[in-house]
Amino acid sequence: MMEARVGIVVEGGQKALNAAHGTVVDGGGAAKFLPHNNRRNQQQQQNQQQRQKSQIGSVHQLLAGGIAGAFSKTCTAPLARLTILFQIQGMHSDMATLSKPSIWFEASRIVNEEGFRAFWKGNMVTIVHRLPYSAVNFYAYEHYKNLLQSLIGENHSGNASKNLFVHFVGGGLAGITAASATYPLDLVRTRLAAQRSAVYYRGISHAFSTICREEGFFGLYKGLGATLLGVGPNIAISFSVYEALRSFWKSQRPDDSTVMVSLACGSLSGIASSTATFPLDLVRRRMQLEGAGGRARVYNSGLFGTFRRIVQNEGLRGLYRGILPEYYKVVPGVGIVFMTYETLKMLLGDI
């Protein structure tokens, strides 16, 4: 669920960069002394140019966001796989072996038993997942934003609270749409990353065909409920914590770099949202692995039954297995995606 906090810090950083570079939008004041027909023609030309620039800018923004997300995910893939491996402990393991899971011990086991490249198991699916997810999220947000603005009315478009409502609700609906559309790729990624020495799924296409054959088409959507349930809280926590921290920071230290403030606040908001929504993420992973590799189902009572079963067998701490590597990947993940995004936008803007 990192997409929400990444989007927030990139958006905040983009505003910061625009302010730092002195970006100014011309309101058409230069044309106020022209004759009426000339002003109208010039205004039409300006509107057409702005639409063309907006379309080009949208494509550049989409490509930059997708590539930056894929690059960031690749850089933090070892920590992401460790998170998944810790999250699924307890499904089929003896509870006596789960008392003190060690990141160093698990990383050493991966290197010794599976080889160093095994840290990136399932990462190819992540890369394939990034661009369609970004595309669906981007265009769905624009659609929902326009729809909500039309429902609210144009006379409220400048109202700060109405704009916040549009941003939050539109972002949540776009996140739900994108997550639903690309969910099978996320499930396949979890199945591939969860494999240890024994290999059941030989690749992306083999995993898709095997899951559909053994579990049916809807087997590709196991755990979707937990994913959709976490979208709203993730966006709400990320956005509110980010804005609160940024406002407090700027009030105390107004001369600090706005870009660094955005990065720091984005990282802290990511940690906050990860902490709050991690139990849902853990339940999602476990439900994604139900019946994987021909193994018997462990949880047969739905989303809330899975929560109850985990708490009964592993305690409340069981809902936070793998939280440390998740924390470790937040700061570099946000930093990498932000810097890569800005660099790519500059490069694509010159094309």
Contact (Cβ atoms closer than 8 angstroms) between residue 148 and residue 170: yes
* Structure confidence at residue 166 (pLDDT): 84
* Structure confidence at residue 29 (pLDDT): 41
* 151 backbone dihedrals φ, ψ, rounded to 5°: -70, -40
* Structure confidence at residue 26 (pLDDT): 42
* Structure confidence at residue 322 (pLDDT): 92
Q: How many residues does the chain have?
A: 351
* Structure confidence at residue 110 (pLDDT): 94
* Structure confidence at residue 229 (pLDDT): 93
**138-167: burial string, b at 16+ Cβ within 10 Å, e else:** bebbeebbeebbeeeeeeeeeeeebeeebb
Mean pLDDT, consecutive 10-residue segments, the chain of 351 residues?
57 49 40 49 55 59 84 94 91 56 89 95 93 88 89 65 82 92 96 90 94 94 93 87 90 88 89 94 94 80 89 91 93 86 78 59
* Structure confidence at residue 14 (pLDDT): 52
CATH topology of domain 114-221: Mitochondrial carrier fold (1.50.40)
| Structure tokens that stand for 138 in this block | 């981007």
Contact (Cβ atoms closer than 8 angstroms) between residue 314 and residue 221: no
* Structure confidence at residue 221 (pLDDT): 95
The contacts of residue 129 (CB under 8 Å, 6+ apart) are 182, 185, 186, 189
Domains of the chain, by residue range, sit at 50-92+322-350, 114-221, 223-320
**73-90: burial string, b at 16+ Cβ within 10 Å, e else:** bbbbbbbbbbbbbbbbbb
pTM of this structure: 0.81
Cβ neighbours, 10 Å, residue 246: 22
